[in-house]
Amino acid sequence: MISATADPPMYALRVGHLWNGTTLIDDAVVVVEGDRIVKVGAGKRDVPKGAQVVDLRRYTGLPGLIDLHTHITYYWDRKPGTRPRGQRRRPAVTVFLAQENARRTLETGVTTIRDLGSANEMDFAMRDLVAMGAMIGPRMFVAGQGISARAGATPNPDAMRQAAEDRIKAGADWVKVYGSLGSFESVETTQTITFEEMKAIVDAAHAQGHKVAIHSYGPSGVKDAVRAGADSVEHGIDLDDETLQEMVRRGTVWVPTIDHNRYYIDAKDEFAFRPETIEPLREYIQRNLDATRRAVQAGVRIGMGSDAVYTMFGQNTRELGWLVKAGMTPPQALASATTIPAELLGIQDRLGRIAPGYVADLVAVEGRPLERIEDLFDGVRWVMKDGAVVVDKRRHEQP
């Protein structure tokens, strides 16, 4: 008689070099049952009988990566004569089309994202579809529409508290706040949300067990966001030593998103940015990098966030090159995309590492990303998420 509940298939992933989130294991064997890792060993003797062997011996294995800042529903169909911004279509159509962004993201080795801003609750729909298994993509933690205010508007902490509560009620995992101007080709640093308003939002969200990410291009907004208790702060330049120390003391995660301005410069023709916007973008990158260097030295917890929109999907991990430029070793940079974001998202007991009991998310990379982080950017050959293979670009050798 056939059992009604057949055991899930057991995989033994044989990995050349496995970085499990902290250490490197040569000739590793990762045993996967269903969506979980059940054992991590080394050498042929650790391959269980009856397991289906996946040969990743020419690759370096990493935990599934986490991108802390995306806008995955910003989708452009590249139709000639159109620009990424301003294409109009029904939200459900965009959700469907944004599967391409999701696929490109998985191809970079990113299996989890925190999506920080989407209109019409499109991110809620995408998160739910991925969680149901109806759409292939990274698992998503989402914020819905970010909370913002006009520059110079009369501060209203009560309205801000209400806005945070409304987002959570609607289904947001995180609350996103635009604490300053600055986006796309604009590097305008003007603060738009006051300390009192930020505090009202943070307190309201924390009271319900939700976390808050505050966007600020300028230093005053970052300072206020940190003091108000933001769980993460996005972007930023010219951070003073006091703010860096306060981040260390509170454990605030800083997501500098240096690479997104590199992308805007590279994609300037697609967006039709005016030529005079390019030099300020370059200058912002430099100051963003300088601040990150100082934050690394101060011991601030730094997270990888691409701030990917439109055609930047597929470049999600290039931020790690900047983090290495800022003084991190490649393993420290990889921690910014694994263990640190897992803690920030509250999933450190199941993601960000390769260990027994953890969710089976694993990336196989050709090259030596632990020595040369750039190898990660186009070296991803195979990705498993929740125990299922979602990317397979292995080069199969001739027999």
Residues 30-69 that bind Zn ion (CB under 5 A): none
As measured in angstroms, the least distance from the Cβ of 257 to Zn ion is 7
Backbone angles phi and psi of 99, in degrees to 5: -55, -30
Q: Considering only the stretches 2-10, 148-156, 303-311, 388-396, report the one whose residues sit in contact with Zn ion under the rule CB under 5 A.
A: 303-311
Q: Considering only the stretches 84-92, 302-310, 342-350, 389-397, report the one whose residues sit in contact with Zn ion under the rule CB under 5 A.
A: 302-310
Q: Is 307 in the site for Zn ion (CB under 5 A)?
A: yes
Q: Which is nearer to Zn ion, 210 or 235 (CB)?
A: 235
Q: Which is nearer to Zn ion, 320 or 370 (CB)?
A: 320
- Count of residues engaged in binding Zn ion, rule: CB under 5 A: 1
As measured in angstroms, the least distance from the Cβ of 176 to Zn ion is 8
Q: Which is nearer to Zn ion, 69 or 353 (CB)?
A: 69
Q: Please give, one letter per residue, the 3-state secondary structure of the chain.
A: CCCCCCCCCEEEEEEEEEECCCCEEEEEEEEEECCEEEEEEECHHHCCCCCEEEEEEEEEEEECEEEEEECCCCCCCCCCCCCCCCCCCCHHHHHHHCHHHHHHHHCCCEEEEEECCCCCCHHHHHHHHHHHCCCCCCEEEECCCCECCCCCCCCCHHHHHHHHHHHHHHCCCEEEEECECCECCECCCCECCCHHHHHHHHHHHHHCCCEEEEECCCHHHHHHHHHHCCCEEECCCCCCHHHHHHHHHHCCEEECCCHHHHHHHHCHHHHCCCHHHHHHHHHHHHHHHHHHHHHHHHCCEECCCCCECHHHCCCHHHHHHHHHHCCCCHHHHHHCCCHHHHHHHCCCCCCCCCCCCCECCEEEECCCCCCCCCHHHHHEEEEEECCEEEEECCCCCCC
Q: Which is nearer to Zn ion, 231 or 307 (CB)?
A: 307
Q: Which is nearer to Zn ion, 60 or 70 (CB)?
A: 70
Q: Which is nearer to Zn ion, 107 or 307 (CB)?
A: 307
Q: Considering only the stretches 19-27, 166-174, 262-270, 300-308, report the one whose residues sit in contact with Zn ion under the rule CB under 5 A.
A: 300-308
Q: Considering only the stretches 238-246, 261-269, 301-309, 320-328, report the one whose residues sit in contact with Zn ion under the rule CB under 5 A.
A: 301-309
As measured in angstroms, the least distance from the Cβ of 44 to Zn ion is 46
Q: Which is nearer to Zn ion, 67 or 307 (CB)?
A: 307
Q: Which of 313, 340, 310 has its CA nearest to residue 83?
A: 310
Residue-level length of the chain: 399
Compose the 172-191 pattern: x for residues touching Zn ion by CB under 5 A, - for all others: --------------------
Q: Is 197 in the site for Zn ion (CB under 5 A)?
A: no
Across 273-284, b (16+ Cβ under 10 Å) vs e yields beeebeeebeeb
Q: Which is nearer to Zn ion, 63 or 218 (CB)?
A: 218
Q: Which is nearer to Zn ion, 62 or 126 (CB)?
A: 126
User: Which residue's Cβ has the minimum distance to Zn ion?
Assistant: 307
As measured in angstroms, the least distance from the Cβ of 307 to Zn ion is 4
Q: Please check whether residue 54 is in contact with residue 13, taking contact to mean a CB–CB distance below 8 angstroms.
A: yes
As measured in angstroms, the least distance from the Cβ of 312 to Zn ion is 11
As measured in angstroms, the least distance from the Cβ of 16 to Zn ion is 36
As measured in angstroms, the least distance from the Cβ of 305 to Zn ion is 8
Q: Considering only the stretches 45-53, 170-178, 270-278, 306-314, report the one whose residues sit in contact with Zn ion under the rule CB under 5 A.
A: 306-314
As measured in angstroms, the least distance from the Cβ of 329 to Zn ion is 27
Distances (CA, A) of 342 to 14, 137, 339: 25, 18, 5
As measured in angstroms, the least distance from the Cβ of 216 to Zn ion is 12
As measured in angstroms, the least distance from the Cβ of 215 to Zn ion is 6
Q: Which is nearer to Zn ion, 121 or 307 (CB)?
A: 307
List contacts with Zn ion (CB under 5 A). Answer: 307
